[in-house]
Amino acid sequence: MQLWGARSLVWTTPATASLQTKSGWNTLSGRPPVLVGHRGEKAFMPEHSRASYWQAALEGADYIEPDLALTRDGHLVVNHNE
């Protein structure tokens, strides 16, 4: 698993795909979909926590995609504003 990159989102097109992957998702290329954990696995753990990132990895996420913001003094912080 890489710590940059998603699981809330799965990029597939089941309605138009012709090939079936072993995961059960249809994709145009026939390759398995890439699973990305946006904010980790927020259904079971606090979002943006180490526990949520770890849980996403345990559930098969290929990437974790945190909400990052750059502060005025040049530091990256995890931040989500709705």
Catalytic residue among 14, 20, 68, 80: 80
48: annotated active-site residue: no
38: annotated active-site residue: yes
Catalytic residue among 7, 38, 39, 42: 38
The DSSP secondary structure of 26-62, one letter per residue, reads EESSSSPPPEEEETSSTTTS-TTSHHHHHHHHHTT-S
24 CB contacts (<8 Å, ≥6 apart)?
Answer: none
Q: Phi/psi of residue 23, each to 5°? A: -75, -10
Active site residues: 38, 80
